[in-house]
Amino acid sequence: MSRLSPEGSAPGPAPETASWASALIDAAPDAIVVIDGAGRIVLVNAQAERLFGYSRGELVGQVIEVLVPDRLRSGHVGRRQAFGEHPTARPMGVSLDLSARCRDGREVPVEISLSPLSTPGGMLFSAAIRDITERRRTQEALRQARDELELRVHERTAELEQTNRVLHQEMADREQAEGALRQAQKMEAVGQLTGGIAHDFNNLLTVVIGSLQILARHVAKDPFATELAGAALKAARRGSELNRTLLAFSRKQRLAPVAVDCNEMIAHLTGMLRRVLGEHVSIGVAPAADLPRAIADAGQLETALLNLAVNARDAMPDGGTLTLETAAVTLDAHYAANEVDVKPGRYVMLAVSDTGCGMTPEVVARACEPFFTTKEVGKGSGLGLAMVYGFVKQSGGHVKIYSEPGFGTTIKLFLPEVVATTSIGEAEPATADELPIRGGDETLLVVEDEEDVRQLACRVLGGLGYRILQACDGRDAMVLIESDATIDLLFTDVVLPGGMNGPEIARRARLRRPGLKVMYTSGYTGNAIQQLDATLTPVHLITKPYAIDEMTRAVRALLDAD
């Protein structure tokens, strides 16, 4: 401040005004530091002393860099000089991340406003410095609270999504079980109807055949009448054969169940099938080692296999491969719950696979119905699979059809296994199914187009500690394979949508990841997969329907294999 003398002389200082100005500067809520053009401190207020821990005497005359952290000092000199060449006012709070250094070496976050002032003695620069430590703490507390809230929301959302997935899975399982129940009830109703008709038809055929045979004797001397009676008798006998098929479907035929060696049966059938099917169909046989015997009527089982083989031939008019396979399997409670009329337990499985035209899901759903056929009129009665279905069901077994249009069909017959009795007190050796189930921390890529099957596998394997990646087709699988993600094992279905099947995914994956372990799963059998893959190398396969325990043990065994 300045004032004029009473005589109008040059202005002079007003001591009382200077005192007020000093008091006002000291009363300012922010630290104030004034420097000259050389960067030396010429004025500080009380807040600056409290903030930095220096007295006024210690700060005045020092370069401003004494208040700048050591790591920032060299850069600060250049910026200060540049600002001095083009000084402009800079307001507080321009979002610069600034720090100041206190006497004890502490760094504090600050906001700074700059005000250049031109004086007769040169440029001065006033800096108002505000300590924002508390604001930063508040902001950090708010950020942590926000992050914690977001985490809780994320966790809760994940829990709700998981609950929703479980509910959807349960609804899907229930819908599948209800669908299977409706199908079983329909088949049972049709079976009862056909059984009743067949019973009455048998009575009619008995009268017709007997009467025709008597008539044939009476007209033996009349060639034309004899020919007509013979034709009628032949047609009646064909009706009798048809009736036996209806009885088989309705599970009312008389069976003579015995312990059957299924490996021996398919070996015996192979020679006959080569003659029946013709040279354009090649036959492969894959018998399981140490196969237990099955409980079945041997004659009816042989007829069922012949029926399936003939159907497979008809599905391959241009030739192909028929594969007969056997295996000992376990159908678990989860599988049985979704299939209806299936008892959990151990079974002997016989599979007949072809590389023919395949069937759509709609055709598969009706394939075992009597008189249902997709063949031309006169080329099929629609009773072949119906007879097989009825015979297997009457034997206490199960029939499962896996088919993909353009790839082929596998029909599996599950027949009860002969249970060997064990002497009292005799200990049975532990089987593979009794080994403990172990998980791990490896990363598995699960590729399966059926969402319910994929989610089941992921849920089971994830529950054992494995890290799970999943894809619904070859394209999504290759995105993960070509990424930097760790993948220890590829668990893939064979037939997938989108033009890339499981073996092709495995081939491409091994080009990028040599040594990657691969396990296939499919309704197709092992030899069918080798034909699809066009390779003779062994295939690690777990066939559908697989027991959950069987799947987890197979994955662990492959991961542990050298």
The tens digit of pLDDT for each residue in 24-44 reads 888 888 999 999 989 999 999
What are the C-alpha distances in Å from 426 to residues 429, 432, 433, 519?
10, 19, 19, 37
The whole-number pLDDT of residue 210 equals 66
The DSSP element (H or E) to which 131 belongs, if any, is strand 122-131
- Asked whether residue 144 carries a pLDDT value surpassing 60, the answer given is yes
8 Å CB contact between 403 and 300: no
- Asked whether residue 6 carries a pLDDT value surpassing 50, the answer given is no
The whole-number pLDDT of residue 264 equals 92
How many Cβ atoms from other residues are within 10 Å of residue 242's Cβ?
Answer: 15
Contacts 24+ apart (CB under 8 A), 469-476: 469/443, 469/444, 469/445, 470/445, 470/446, 471/445, 471/446, 471/447, 472/447, 472/448, 473/447, 473/449, 473/497, 473/498, 473/500, 474/447, 474/498, 474/499, 474/500, 474/501, 474/504, 474/505, 475/500, 476/447
- Residue 96's SS3 state is coil
Closest CA to 34 of 19, 18, 22: 22
The whole-number pLDDT of residue 164 equals 85
What is the C-alpha separation between 434 and 119, in angstroms, rounded? 95
Boundaries of every domain in the chain: 15-131, 147-249, 258-416, 437-560
The whole-number pLDDT of residue 94 equals 63
Closest CA to 482 of 457, 520, 511: 511
Query: Rounded mean pLDDT of 96-124?
Result: 89
- Asked whether residue 458 carries a pLDDT value surpassing 70, the answer given is yes
Which residues, listed in sequence order, are joined to residue 404 by a DSSP beta bridge?
A: 408
What DSSP state is assigned to residue 40? B
Helices (H), 250-349: 262-277, 298-314, 333-339
Largest interatomic CA distance in the chain: 171
Instruction: Name the residue with higher pLDDT: 172 or 273.
Output: 273
Q: In this structure, which amino acid lies at residue 350? A: L
Instruction: Name the residue with higher pLDDT: 271 or 397.
Output: 397
Task: Please state which of the four CATH numbers 1.10.150.570, 3.30.565.10, 3.20.20.80, 3.10.450.50 is assigned to the domain occupying 258-416.
Answer: 3.30.565.10
What is the C-alpha separation between 261 and 267, in angstroms, rounded? 10
The whole-number pLDDT of residue 468 equals 96
Query: Rounded mean pLDDT of 447-459?
Result: 85
8 Å CB contact between 356 and 283: no
Q: How many CA atoms lie within 13 A of 368 on its CB side?
A: 27
- Asked whether residue 159 carries a pLDDT value surpassing 80, the answer given is yes
Instruction: Name the residue with higher pLDDT: 3 or 162.
Output: 162
- The torsion defined by the Cα of 451, 453, 456 and 462, in degrees rounded to 10, comes to -80
Q: What are phi and psi of 409, to 5 degrees?
A: -140, 145
Position 421 confidence tier, pLDDT thresholds 50, 70, 90: very low
Position 297 confidence tier, pLDDT thresholds 50, 70, 90: confident
What is the C-alpha separation between 313 and 317, in angstroms, rounded? 7
Kindly state the percentage of the chain with pLDDT values over 90: 31
| Angle, helix 502-512 to helix 474-481, in steps of 10 degrees | 10
- Asked whether residue 2 carries a pLDDT value surpassing 60, the answer given is no
- Asked whether residue 305 carries a pLDDT value surpassing 50, the answer given is yes
- Asked whether residue 5 carries a pLDDT value surpassing 50, the answer given is no
8 Å CB contact between 251 and 390: yes
Query: Rounded mean pLDDT of 437-460?
Result: 88
How many Cβ atoms from other residues are within 10 Å of residue 463's Cβ?
Answer: 11
Query: Rounded mean pLDDT of 215-239?
Result: 81
Degrees, nearest 5: CA angle 229-234-237: 125
Query: Rounded mean pLDDT of 134-149?
Result: 90
Lookup result for tokens 């492969």: 284
Q: Name the fold adopted by 15-131.
A: Beta-Lactamase (3.30.450)
Q: In whole angstroms, how large is the CA radius of gyration of the chain?
A: 44
The whole-number pLDDT of residue 546 equals 66
Lookup result for tokens 């159908």: 331
The whole-number pLDDT of residue 75 equals 87
Buried b (16+ CB within 10 A) or exposed e, 13-42: eeeeeeeeeeeebeeeebbbbbbbeebebb
- The torsion defined by the Cα of 271, 277, 282 and 286, in degrees rounded to 10, comes to -50
Q: Mean pLDDT across the chain, nearest whole number?
A: 80
Position 368 confidence tier, pLDDT thresholds 50, 70, 90: confident
- Asked whether residue 197 carries a pLDDT value surpassing 80, the answer given is no
The whole-number pLDDT of residue 34 equals 93
Query: Rounded mean pLDDT of 430-448?
Result: 77
Position 275 confidence tier, pLDDT thresholds 50, 70, 90: confident
Q: What are phi and psi of 43, to 5 degrees?
A: -155, 140
Query: Rounded mean pLDDT of 260-276?
Result: 88
Instruction: Name the residue with higher pLDDT: 186 or 395.
Output: 395
The whole-number pLDDT of residue 242 equals 62
Instruction: Name the residue with higher pLDDT: 325 or 241.
Output: 325
- Asked whether residue 352 carries a pLDDT value surpassing 90, the answer given is yes
What is the C-alpha separation between 215 and 434, in angstroms, rounded? 67
What is the C-alpha separation between 192 and 211, in angstroms, rounded? 29
Give the architecture (CATH level 2) of 437-560: 3-Layer(aba) Sandwich (3.40)
